[in-house]
Structure 1
């Protein structure tokens, strides 16, 4: 998500970063798994994420796109939105790793975001370093 946030802007203030991340990830996954495969993966990730974040129940997947985000954004506060975005992205990446394996998932992510250090599987250390800068 940090790679999709412009320098000097916070993820919360700048809008739905995870959804921009999903928009960037979607075409790659659709090419790899087919549009139906990506639709199924995103639908399952949304279902799992909605169990943790209630406002996500108002969002649907239609043709591989998330529908209902504008309503959710108008009815939820920024912290809830950010939390939902993170949970949805985490669920999607977790499912992807379960289906194709962690190594192939990391390789795909490194192709999309080559500036990120995917050689370190502990991403929390990288996130903490970026916050310090």
Structure 2
């Protein structure tokens, strides 16, 4: 018998979960909402960055600055594996995303990188606090918008 046959088979294990279509759709809708808003001077130029920034306040209340920074850092690390152009992005000590300003539209935030970051952040939230609480948090941040497309099967009312 060949000794290589005795070696245990290497299993490929995914390092990250697949974001559900509902969460990815919610991320796109939140980005679209922010893109449609008037941006005041000094506002973040990217709608995806504005979504993350708007989620920051309630998440800091929930988990603290360090908790939010860890969550945002993990979301960005996963997103970087999916969108290599995000290699220039980083999370600051206060949890803000930086480095996305220099990306060209065809390689950056408006072409899927932003969707990926926001979807990963929402996916991590669902993992840690559950879908109903995540959706409630989103509703608190965007109270005038309906997020019913993402709550199919969650038991939550809009």
TM-score (norm 2): 0.66
Conserved? CA contact 1:45–1:88, under 8 Å: yes
Equivalent of 1:32, from 53, 62, 70? 62
Conserved? CA contact 2:48–2:114, under 8 Å: yes
- CA deviation digits over 1:9-53, x for unaligned, max 9? xxxxxx411101111111111111110100000000000000011
Equivalent of 1:113, from 122, 139, 142? 142
Match of 2:99 in 1: 68
- Distance in 1 (alpha carbons) for counterparts of 2:47 and 2:96: 15
Conserved? CA contact 1:3–1:113, under 8 Å: no
Larger radius of gyration: 2
* 1:1-133 alignment, distance < 5 Å: 1-6=31-36, 15-63=45-93, 64-70=95-101, 73=102, 76-81=103-108, 82=110, 83-121=112-150
In structure 1, list runs of 5 or more residues that go unmatched. Answer: 9-14, 124-133
Match of 1:130 in 2: none
- CA deviation digits over 1:47-88, x for unaligned, max 9? 000001111111111211122223xx2xx3313222111100
Greater share of residues in helix: 1
Equivalent position SS for 1:51: helix
In structure 2, list runs of 5 or more residues that go unmatched. Answer: 1-30, 39-44, 153-158
Q: Quote the offset at 1:115 in angstroms.
A: 2.1
CA RMSD of aligned residues (A): 2.3
- How many residue pairs are counted as aligned between the two chains? 115
- CA deviation digits over 1:79-119, x for unaligned, max 9? 32221111000000000110000000000000111122223
